[in-house]
Amino acid sequence: MKMVGILCLCIFASAAARAQTKTIVFVCEHGSAKSVIAATYFNKLAKAKNIPWQAVARGTNPDATLSPKTKTLLAADNLLDSTFVPSKLSQQDVDAAQHVILFYSFPPTLHGDGKTLSWQHVRAANDDFQILRDNILLKLTPLLDSLSKH
Domain layout of the chain by residue ranges: 22-148
User: pTM value?
Assistant: 0.86
Average pLDDT over residues 116-136: 91
CATH assignment, 22-148: 3.40.50.2300
Q: CA-to-CA distance for 126 and 9, rounded, in angstroms?
A: 53
Contact (Cβ atoms closer than 8 angstroms) between residue 28 and residue 124 = no
CB count within 10 Å of CB 147 equals: 18
Within its chain, how far is the Cα of 36 from the centroid? 7
Residue among 34, 41, 63, 64 at smallest CA distance from 141: 41
The type of residue at 51 is I
Residues 94-121: pLDDT tens digits?
999 999 999 999 999 999 989 999 999 9
Q: Does 122 score more than 60 pLDDT?
A: yes
